[in-house]
Amino acid sequence: MGLQESRIESLPFVTAELNYLAPTAGKPRTYAYDPPPGEPKSTNLPEPHLLPIFDGRAVAKAFSLDREGFELVRHPTAVKNFYDEAEIRRVYYPAVESFMRATLRADRVFIFDHTVRKRVEGAPDIRGAAPRQPATRVHVDQTLTSGPNRVREHLPDVADELLKGRVQVINLWRPIRGPVRDAPLAMADGTTVAPEDLVASDLIYPNRRGETYSVKYNPNHRWFYFPEMTADEALLLKCYDSAADGRTRFGPHTAFVDPTTPANTPPRESIEIRALVFHRA
């Protein structure tokens, strides 16, 4: 059972703009490189809505990855420098893999990428650049199509067998430095998101085409955040789940501008890891 309405309404909140998908003709698409002549960089345009974003701190233990689509977890790390690619792969990848296996009771975890972000005032978010900017539109990292395709892409020799069981794509998001006051992450309660709110959108690379969900505005959506996250905390975010038994399968999320953030607050720095999580049939 999810959070009671009366309990949610008693929580503190901030009111902030979230960027949903503006209506567009055809399937939204974004080029991850300079587009062909005459093509716009993206047809995935923002439609901002001013919404309450509830402080989930007081009820943090009530959230469930399978119900709301996100969880706050304690996750200390031994990594000294998150801008050192070799250290991330040597130290952080194995630690996250072990943590996910234990926490999610998984049979196998395969980490397929990570992204380091640091907000730079006025800079565009360029894919392939390091670090990336915070993602300031409501989205889900995978879709019904791209979730299974990730298995085929990264584990082709055993994909058919793995896809017989339950497959998830899980994002572990954490601050590099805390507490986070700038550009925090907001998560939609998956129980308030309807399937028709999710719009498959193409992400076009020079050598491949990915797919994510953009999200249409729905007044039923309920949003949460965990203010002042520390470097010992992390968020588990559900990006895909093959289980179609009523649990949340996709968790929309976005960075947002918190109007209560003090001036001269250090820019948000964060890292997210995306992993394939397998459960035997």
* Domain 60-279: CATH class, spelled out: mainly beta
Q: Where are the domains of the chain?
A: 60-279
**Which pLDDT score is estimated for 262?**
93
pTM, full prediction: 0.94
pLDDT band at residue 120 under the 50/70/90 scheme? confident
Backbone angles phi and psi of 4, in degrees to 5: -70, 145
pLDDT band at residue 2 under the 50/70/90 scheme? low
What is the token pair recorded at 226? 């965990």
Find all residues with CB under 8 Å of 102, minimum gap 6, and list them: none
Q: Is 104 left (phi over 0), alpha (psi -120 to 50) or beta?
A: alpha
pLDDT in tens, 174-206: 999 989 999 999 999 999 999 999 999 999 998
88: pLDDT strictly greater than 90 = yes
